[in-house]
Copies of this chain bind each other. A is one copy, B any other.
């Protein structure tokens, strides 16, 4: 098993590398974002550990770029303590798991093993809310076992909602995620898509999953 570690704090990097090597992994270390991305895309790894705060290019950017290019390698992000934003950004950019610093080494090891295991059995984690399932890998959605066909934007919005299940998601968050940063939004695109999503996901169902929080945004969950 080969692992890439992208971490700029020399001391921490050395420690992790030592520990993982002892556990039988082959570890490559990169010390800045550019080097990390270069290695990640030119070599083959079974898992990548990415610090978020990095010189030259941050971890989120690396992760996004890789997913954009189609790399499915499991990615574990290291985030600063207490930064909910970082965690959200990280998972959003396509990371499979995260760990907040500081952490116990054994914790890191077990997360990595979980990721590697997951990679073997099921290619990608399926998102689930009640009887609604979304498989990011296969790009399929189903409710109560029956397939639902969604357009790309619809899929992307639903995926985003499901990755934040139970939490409020504002229109701006959705816009920034599904469209690009420079999209000048003064319209009601999001609302229009919510309407079509509802039609496909919730219509004729006794239990509604998509809820509006007036004045705030939307939320997907079993309870309003």
Contacts and interface: CB of A to CB of B under 8 A. Distances in A.
Interface of A: 11, 14-15, 18-19, 22-24, 83-86, 88-89, 102-106, 109-110, 113, 125, 137-140, 147, 149, 151-152, 166-168, 170-173, 176, 181-182, 184-186, 213-217, 223-224
Contacts of A181: 102-105
B186 A14 contact: yes
20 contacts: A18-B172, A19-B170, A22-B171, A22-B172, A22-B216, A88-B106, A89-B106, A102-B182, A104-B176, A104-B181, A105-B172, A105-B181, A106-B173, A106-B176, A138-B168, A139-B168, A139-B213, A139-B216, A147-B223, A152-B216
B176 A105 contact: yes
Given A113-B85, A151-B215, A216-B22, A167 B137 contact: yes
A89 B170 CA distance: 34
A102 B182 CA distance: 8
A14 B104 CA distance: 34
A167 B152 contact: no
Contact of A172 (B19, B110, B223): B19
A166 B138 contact: yes
A215 B152 contact: yes
Contacts of A139: 167-168, 213, 216
A108 to B, nearest CB: 10
A14 B172 CA distance: 12
Contact of A15 (B106, B184, B214): B184
Given A22-B217, A223-B147, A85 B110 contact: yes
